[in-house]
Amino acid sequence: MCDELVARAGPRCTKQDTRYRKAIEPGMKIAITMRHLASGDKYASMKFDFRVPHNILSVLVREVCQAMVDEYKNEVISCPTSSEEWRPTAEVFARKWNLPHACAALDGKHIACKRSADSGSLYHNYQDFYSIVLMGLVDSDYKFLWTDVGGHGHMSDAQIFNASELKECLEDGTIGLPPADPLPNDDRDTPYFILIDDAFALRTNMMKPYPQRRMTKEQRIYNYRISRDRRVVENAFGILAQRWQVLSTIQQEPDTVQLVVEVCVCLHNLMRMRYPALQNAALDTEDANYQLVPRSWRATCNMHEVYSQRDPTVTALQPRNSENTSNFASILLQDLCPGKTC
C-alpha cells in the first residue's frame, strides 16, 4: 500500500531540486505523513526521527494530505445514486444485521482542533472543547459513502444535515433509494431508509428508535434492531480514530484539521477496499449466543488530550463544585465558631 501511495500521490507532491538544497523525496514525505497520521506524534518530536525541521514538517504534511485527497477521494468515497447500487448494501444489512430495507447509517463526530483567532465560540461545542464536525454516511461494511467535514463545533448534527447536499438529494429523490416494496413475510410496501438517532428528525426515508417511554414489546424489538444496526457508524468512527491516532491528539487550525480528517477517511476506505480480510480481523464478532465479542480496535483509548482545551473558567469551577465543597464549608464554619455548631 505504501508503494501504491508513492506511485500515485508521489508525483503530486514532487518538488524540483535547486542550487541551494535538494528537494525531499516523495517517499520520505509520504512516510513522514503516514507516521504523523498513525501515531499522532507532534512535529517537535518527529523532527529527530526524520532529521527534518518542524517548520518544514508542518508544510509538507499538509502538502501530502492534499495530494492524497485529490488522488483518492473521488475513487474511494462514492455514494450510490441508483436503486441497483443501493440494493446490495440493503441486502448485506438484512443478512448481517437482521434489518431489512436499511441502506446506511448517519451520524456526526466531533474532532478536536485549536481555537482560531477571532472565532469566539464558533468552534466551542457542548462538551467544552473546540472542534469541527465529521458527518458521515456509513454502509454495513464500515465504509464511508458520503462525508461532510468542517461543520462548526457549536452546530448540532441536525443543523449540519439540514444544510448539506445529502438532505437535498433525499428530498428530491436524486439519491436513488430503491422504491418501496414488502418486507419479508409481509404484503405491505415499506420504504428503504437510512438509520439515524434522536438528533435528527423522523422522515419517511430516515428511521430512528422510539422514545424510551411506555413501549410495547414490538417497539422494544424495533428499537433493538435499529440501535444494533446503527452501531456501524459509531464503530466506523471508533475504528477511524483508533487507526489514525492524530484525530485524538491534533492541535491545529480548523482548516488543517479538516484536511487531515478528509485524508484519514480516504485511507480508511482504501484499506477497507484493498485488504478487507486483514481489516475484518480487528472487528467485533458474535459468539454462538449472539453476544458481542470485542476485538482489538477497542483496545486503544482516544480523545485523552481533548479536555486540556477546555475553557479555563470551566476548569476552575470544578474544585468549587466538587464533592469536597461541603467538607470545605464545614471547616470554615468551625474556624468561625470554634466549639459550637453553627
Per-residue pLDDT of 202-215, as tens digits, reads 888 999 888 877 88
pLDDT of residue 295: 65
User: Which span out of 161-175, 289-303, 312-326 was modeled with the highest average pLDDT?
Assistant: 161-175
Contact call for residues 64 and 11 (beta carbons, < 8 A)? no
Residue 298 neighbours by CB distance under 10 Å: 14
pLDDT band at 292 (very low <50, low <70, confident <90, very high): low
pLDDT of residue 68: 94
Residue 304 has pLDDT above 50, yes or no: no
Residue 332 has pLDDT above 90, yes or no: no
Contacts of 310 (CB under 8 A, 6+ apart): 128, 129
| Weakest mean pLDDT among 31-45, 114-128, 226-240, 320-334 | 320-334
Of residues 23, 22, 13, 16, the one with CA closest to residue 63: 13
Residue 341 has pLDDT above 90, yes or no: no
pLDDT band at 265 (very low <50, low <70, confident <90, very high): very high
Contact call for residues 215 and 221 (beta carbons, < 8 A)? no
pLDDT band at 331 (very low <50, low <70, confident <90, very high): very low
pLDDT of residue 173: 86
Residue 120 has pLDDT above 60, yes or no: yes
Question: Cα–Cα distance between 35 and 177 in angstroms, integer?
Answer: 39
Residue 283 has pLDDT above 50, yes or no: yes
| Weakest mean pLDDT among 56-70, 273-287, 298-312 | 298-312
The residues with which 207 forms a beta bridge, in sequence order, are 195
Residue 56 CA to its chain's centroid (Å): 28
Question: Cα–Cα distance between 286 and 281 in angstroms, integer?
Answer: 13
Percentage of the residues of the chain whose pLDDT score is greater than 90 = 41
Question: Cα–Cα distance between 191 and 305 in angstroms, integer?
Answer: 43
pLDDT of residue 308: 44
Residue 324 has pLDDT above 70, yes or no: no
Q: What is the pLDDT of residues 57-112, one digit of tens each?
A: 999 999 999 999 999 999 999 999 899 999 999 998 888 888 899 999 999 999 99
Percentage of the residues of the chain whose pLDDT score is greater than 70 = 82
The pLDDT of 124-152, averaged and rounded, is 92
Average predicted confidence (pLDDT) for the chain: 83
Question: Cα–Cα distance between 241 and 335 in angstroms, integer?
Answer: 51
pLDDT of residue 117: 81
